[in-house]
Amino acid sequence: MQATDTKRRSKLACPDELNHHLRDGMRIMFGGFMGVGTPERLVAAILRHGARRLTLIGNDTAFPHSGVGPLIASGQVERVITSHIGTNPVTGRKMLAGQIAVELVPQGTLAERIRCGGAGLGGVLTPTGVGTMVAEGKMRQLIDGREYLLELPLRAELAILHAKRADQAGNLVYERAARNFNPLMALAADKVIAEVEEIVDTGEIDPDQVMTPGILVDHLILAESH
Amino acid sequence: MDAKTRIARRVAQELHDGDVVNLGIGLPTLVAHHLPSNIEVCLQSENGFIGLAPLTGEPEPGLVNAGGQPCGLAPGGAMFDSAMSFALIRGGHVDVTVLGGLQVDQHGNLANWMVPDKMIPGMGGAMDLVTGAKRVIVAMEHCTKDGAPRLLERCTLPLTAAARVSLVVTELAVFSCDRGRFTLEELAPGVDLATLAARTGAGFDLALPAAAHHRNSLRSMC
């Protein structure tokens, strides 16, 4: 009886699940740092689906053939909000040609804006960017004699995450530096889909080891076996 | 010894036992290979951990440095997400950040993240690192490939952060930045003041007594 319940409550979905959540013009957050911690099977699914005019939000645009890179090359992306595009020359070329709009955000500010978006906060005051181009057009605030910039929250309609392990309830455990933006994005999107390398029964992950609570995860997709 | 190795070796001497240090991509990464054997520093990697170490053996899944290259993890290391990583950086929990530079000026301004219309890789974590680390050391070659000075009265490229640079180490010299002036702390062996001044785009003061020593050695060489 209990086993049946567990199965019924499983968030494991078939790889096509993503298709139900994609549409043109949507904002998608993706976990990963230089492709490490990016769900490449879900990236491939977006490529196959062909959704266009996408806005991508993530740390960097990785490399032309890994991470989120292939989506940049495919022409499906209209806009990127990111901290770094230097390792993917395709992003730079498309930006200079006017084919992709790139909003560059300092990495720590990007993390905090996403955190704000997921944590119900109206923004964050950061000293990062004061006295630089990043400050242009932003509200400034002096606190105890130090200048801060108001940075606004970021949210998306969909977040695609990568984790090492999940249980059927969607609790996630990340591996090494593949954690990066994934836990922050789990909070900041209307729909959250995690690609995981391994799924275990609910209860098998020690609650102390859970890095993203399963209540934040809508669907689990298994990464292709290696 | 090439210029980059010379710079990395000199920067390594600035680090102290127990320091939490973030090394930027490229030249600053070399600093880790030149640490004095009697000190241990804790390397922070902004992609989400403390305990960055050289790769020994097979790459481990998910374990890469901030340049995306496979790396090792020191005993006692700790992994975390990007918000924690930048809380450490912005919150003043990193003692020293070592970064490359395109330009540094006498006001302690650093430009190292873009050249308008030419090279726009993005700032990555550099703006947070320069804003938040207790000490900012810029490790760069003294002049551009075309021979133009990188140390200037005023940066002409977009800034990474304003008035945050503590020390600039090049293959020719070591400068500190304070109160709107460069101070020459050290001249590399075999470099004379006239050569240095000709390759530096800003005036500088001489620190005593080290510079006096160099002046004397300059006189004795003449």
Q: What is the DSSP string of B60-120?
A: PTT-B-TTS-B-EEEEEEEE--HHHHHHHHHTT--SEEEE--SEEETTS-EE-S-BTTTB-
What local confidence, expressed as pLDDT, does residue B220 receive? 35
Whether residue B22 has pLDDT greater than 90: yes
Distance from CA of B21 to the nearest CA of A (A): 17
Q: Which of A66, A81, A107, A226 to mutate: most B Cβ within 10 Å?
A: A107
**Whether A201 contacts chain B with CB within 8 A:** no
Q: Kindly report the pTM of this predicted structure.
A: 0.95
How many domains are there within chain B?
Answer: 1
Residues 6+ apart with CB under 8 A from B128: A106, A107, A108, A109, A128, B46, B86, B89, B90
Whether residue B123 has pLDDT greater than 70: yes
Residue A6 has a CB neighbour count (10 Å cut-off) of 15
The DSSP code sequence of A38-79 is --HHHHHHHHHHT--SEEEESSB--BTTBTTHHHHHTT-EEE
Whether residue A224 has pLDDT greater than 90: no
| pLDDT tens profile A50-106 | 999 999 999 999 999 999 999 999 999 999 999 999 999 999 999 999 999 999 999
A69 Rama class: left (phi>0) / alpha (psi -120 to 50) / beta: alpha
For A25, list phi and psi in degrees, rounded to 5.
80, 5
Q: How far apart are CA A12 and CA A170, in angstroms?
A: 8
The full length of chain A comes to 226
What local confidence, expressed as pLDDT, does residue B208 receive? 66
Which residues of chain A neighbour B66 with C-beta distances below 8 Å? 33
pLDDT band at B1 (very low <50, low <70, confident <90, very high): confident
Whether residue B210 has pLDDT greater than 70: no
Distance from CA of B6 to the nearest CA of A (A): 27
What local confidence, expressed as pLDDT, does residue A225 receive? 57
- Yes or no: say if B129 and B157 are a contact pair by the CB < 8 Å rule: no
**Domain of residue B139, CATH code:** 3.40.1080.10
- Yes or no: say if A150 and A138 are a contact pair by the CB < 8 Å rule: yes
What value of ipTM does the predicted structure carry? Answer: 0.95
| pLDDT tens profile A105-151 | 999 999 999 999 999 999 999 999 999 999 999 999 999 999 999 99
pLDDT band at A8 (very low <50, low <70, confident <90, very high): low
What are the respective helix, strand and coil percentages of chain A, to the nearest 5? 30, 30, 40
CB contact under 8 A, A174 and B124: no
CB contact under 8 A, A108 and B163: no
**Whether A86 contacts chain B with CB within 8 A:** yes
Q: How far apart are CA B153 and CA A169, in angstroms?
A: 59
| pLDDT tens profile B74-118 | 999 999 999 999 999 999 999 999 999 999 999 999 999 999 988
CB contact under 8 A, A182 and B132: no
* Mean of pLDDT values over B42-64: 96
Strands A156-167 and A189-200: parallel
What local confidence, expressed as pLDDT, does residue A5 receive? 52
Bridge partners of residue B44, in order along the sequence: B50
What local confidence, expressed as pLDDT, does residue B113 receive? 96
B176 SS3 class:
strand
Whether residue B16 has pLDDT greater than 90: yes
- Yes or no: say if A22 and A15 are a contact pair by the CB < 8 Å rule: no
User: Of B167, B160, B18, B185, whose CA–CA distance to B102 is shortest?
Assistant: B160
CA distances from A69 to A74, A87, B163 (A): 9, 10, 35
User: Of A140, A149, A141, A152, whose CA–CA distance to A116 is shortest?
Assistant: A152
**Whether A126 contacts chain B with CB within 8 A:** yes
**Whether A38 contacts chain B with CB within 8 A:** no
**Whether A44 contacts chain B with CB within 8 A:** no
What local confidence, expressed as pLDDT, does residue A12 receive? 96
Bridge partners of residue A166, in order along the sequence: A172, A199
| pLDDT tens profile A140-197 | 999 999 999 999 999 999 999 999 999 999 999 999 999 999 999 999 999 999 999 9
What local confidence, expressed as pLDDT, does residue B221 receive? 35
Which residues of chain A neighbour B80 with C-beta distances below 8 Å? 179
B183 SS3 class:
strand
- Yes or no: say if A218 and A191 are a contact pair by the CB < 8 Å rule: yes
What local confidence, expressed as pLDDT, does residue B218 receive? 43
What local confidence, expressed as pLDDT, does residue B203 receive? 97
Q: How far apart are CA A192 and CA A21, in angstroms?
A: 10
Bridge partners of residue A124, in order along the sequence: A151
The DSSP code sequence of A184-226 is HHTTSEEEEEEEEEEEE-TT-S-GGG-SB-GGG--EEEEPPP-
Whether residue A198 has pLDDT greater than 80: yes
Q: Which of residues 18-37 of A touch B (CB under 8 A)?
A: 33-37
| Domain ranges, residue B84 | 3-221
Domain annotation for chain A: domains and CATH numbers: 2-122+152-222 (3.40.1080.10)
Bridge partners of residue B182, in order along the sequence: B177, B204
Residue B4 has a CB neighbour count (10 Å cut-off) of 15
Closest by Cβ to A82, choosing from B81, B122, B132? B122
**For this structure, is B171 an active site residue?**
no
